[in-house]
Structure 1
Amino acid sequence: MIRQIAELSGTTQSGYAFVLPMSSGEPESAIERAKNDFYSVGVKKVTGFNFRSDSNLGASNDNIASELYLKMIDSLRNAKLIYIPGGVQSNFMSAIKNTAVAEAIHYAYQNGALISGTSAGAAVMSRLMITGNQLNPRPGNGYVTIAQNNMELEEGLGLLQDVIIDQHFIMRQRLNRLVSVAIEYPETLCIGIDESTAIIVDGDIATVAGESQVIVIKNQNGKKAILNGLLGAKNMELSVYLPGECFKLK
């Protein structure tokens, strides 16, 4: 997937990639791993910056820190490829929400940059984002119910509107949680991306790439039923797309 990201972005020919590691619990290591991955497929220039670090935020009286922050924001705005590694998506959004970082990502996107991410980095792309937390968890592991008001959603980057993305989908058996979200948010197209798999978005068309499948769920009639906290819906649409296949986002 890294090779395809690099080729699609054009960074094997010109420009540079910028790594945003704020989802990761080990951000500096995440930057170095991403650099090595991109260098290995021919990207000539890769930089990265942890905007979550208090010492880097430029909010202190340290003029050097402030200058570095502004320099990194400018670099982010002009990147040809922005890459968001995995980790915890809520950590990423809490670091950038209502900041110049978020504005810079949107500026780059609107000016033709490729914005890519793995795991948590994929989840943050949508306007509404699955955090992975359950508000009313049951005993045991995993997502064992299709229940009302259980899945926690937060604000994401909003690069994709009316779409919600889930990740590691088939491997980690996350169908219950995405069905729950699809029932409660019928205006959204719910997309479950499996491991070693991606969607490449061009306008309103998504193309599946990688080694596994993508599941797309839609509560197309917009209706739901609730009984003792359990969710129900009729005639929901569920499609399983293979690598190379395309589907519409709207």
Structure 2
Amino acid sequence: MPQTENQTQVTDRPQATKTAILVIGGAEDKVHGKEILQTFWQCAGGTDAIIGIIPSASREPALIGERYYRIFADMGAKEIKVLDVRDRDGGRDSAYLHYVENCTGIFMTGGDQLRLCGLLADTPLMNLVVERVRAQEIALAGTSAGAAVMGHQMIAGGSSGECPNRALVDLAMGLGIIPEVLVDQHFHNRNRLARLLSAISAHSDLLGVGIDEDTCAMFDSDRNLQVLGRGTVTIVDARDISYTNQNQVHGADPISIHNLKLHVLRYGDRYNLEGHQVIASS
């Protein structure tokens, strides 16, 4: 698969047309309207977009990298490169670093979030991505595993279909791109509400964000989350909980959480992270 397109040298960092972080619940439409992927492409600059694809979460990175490469090429992106990092040394590759220094958008694919963090956390490549995202210089998207890594704390695995309990969820360190959120993906599709509640019971200072398949929570530079796609985004706000027995129970014993606030947002609804306010779509 070719991994360089335009031979034009980029001398200055291009600016994305709209800096945003797109956190996608997985299984986004890749065939028909492709609304979520189109939105990322537009945020990255549309026909001027210079996109880097990171398929490191996948155990078939060449295959999944090729798939997204073709999607963004068909949309008309100016340049696309698959940053196929398969070991920690790849996170120091000078060609990859140069590309990220000049790109307008980074897309992280699905797979295994522990694999993604194990390969890229604290590498020069990922540190540069995070730096440019925080400087609002590039658009960033992550789907499925690429969504799970967005917070400082990350849901690394677990079960579903049970009451909230400590054994239901495995936590690990994420990439800290949006440090105050704790993301779960494939949310209602895999019955993961209890899993997110179990995680939030241990980290009530974080905002739980559960994202359905073919659904996106798009974070803009004004600290608003806006919902795109066909499903819902579930917000779990534990700032005002009055009681939890999380520290007293063990294993699969049920967890109590009192005075928890929960919002279910659909297409067009927004949530402001500063004021913790929900804004309904007009």
- What TM-score bracket applies, with the shorter chain setting the length? 0.7 to 0.9
User: Where does residue 264 of structure 2 map in the other structure?
Assistant: 240
Amino acid at match of 1:224: T
Shift of 1:57: 2.9
- Quote the RMSD (CA, aligned, Å): 1.9
Matched-pair contact (CA < 8 Å) for 1:163–1:249: no
Match of 1:126 among 151, 161, 180: 151
Q: Which fold has the larger relative contact order, with Cα–Cα distance below 8 Å and residues 6 or more apart in sequence?
A: 2
Deviation at 1:148, TM superposition (A): 2.7
Hey, what does 1:110 align to over in structure 2? 134
Deviations 1:59-109 (A, max 9, x none): xxxxxxx8xx21111212321000001000110000012211221111221
Report the counterpart of residue 90 of structure 2 in structure 1: 57
Q: Do the aligned partners of 2:96 and 2:125 also contact (CA within 8 Å) in 1?
A: no
Which runs of structure 1 show a deviation greater than 3 angstroms over 4 or more consecutive aligned residues?
226-229
User: Which runs of structure 2 are paired with 1:13-52 in the superposition (5 Å)?
Assistant: 13-52=47-86
- What is the rounded CA distance, in whole Å, between the counterparts of 1:227 and 1:71 in structure 2? 50
Matches of 2:218 and 2:141, distance apart in 1 = 9
What residue is the counterpart of 1:139 in the other structure? none
Mapped to 2, the partners of 1:178 and 1:110 lie a distance apart of 26
Identify the residue that residue 40 of structure 2 maps to in structure 1: 5
Unaligned 5+ runs, structure 1: 59-65, 135-141
**Aligned mates of 1:77, 1:128 — CA distance in 2:** 27
Structure 2 counterpart of 1:195: 213
Offset, 1:150: 4.2
Q: Deviations over 1:200-228 (max 9, x none)?
A: 10132100011111111122324312456
> Which residue among 244, 250, 261 is the counterpart of 1:224?
244
Q: 8 Å contact 2:148–2:184 — kept in the other structure?
A: yes
Letter aligned with residue 21 of structure 1: P
Question: 1:83·1:117 contact (CA, 8 Å) conserved in 2?
Answer: yes
Seq. identity, %: 26
Q: Which amino acid aligns with 1:127?
A: H
Aligned partners of 1:17 and 1:47 also within 8 Å: yes
- The alpha-carbon deviation at position 143 of structure 1 amounts to 4.3
Q: What SS does structure 1 have at the residue aligned with 2:191?
A: coil
CA contact (8 A) 2:54 2:65 kept: yes
Q: Matched residues in 2 for 1:127 and 1:7: separation? A: 27
**Matched length:** 232
**Aligned-pair CA distance for 1:39:** 1.4
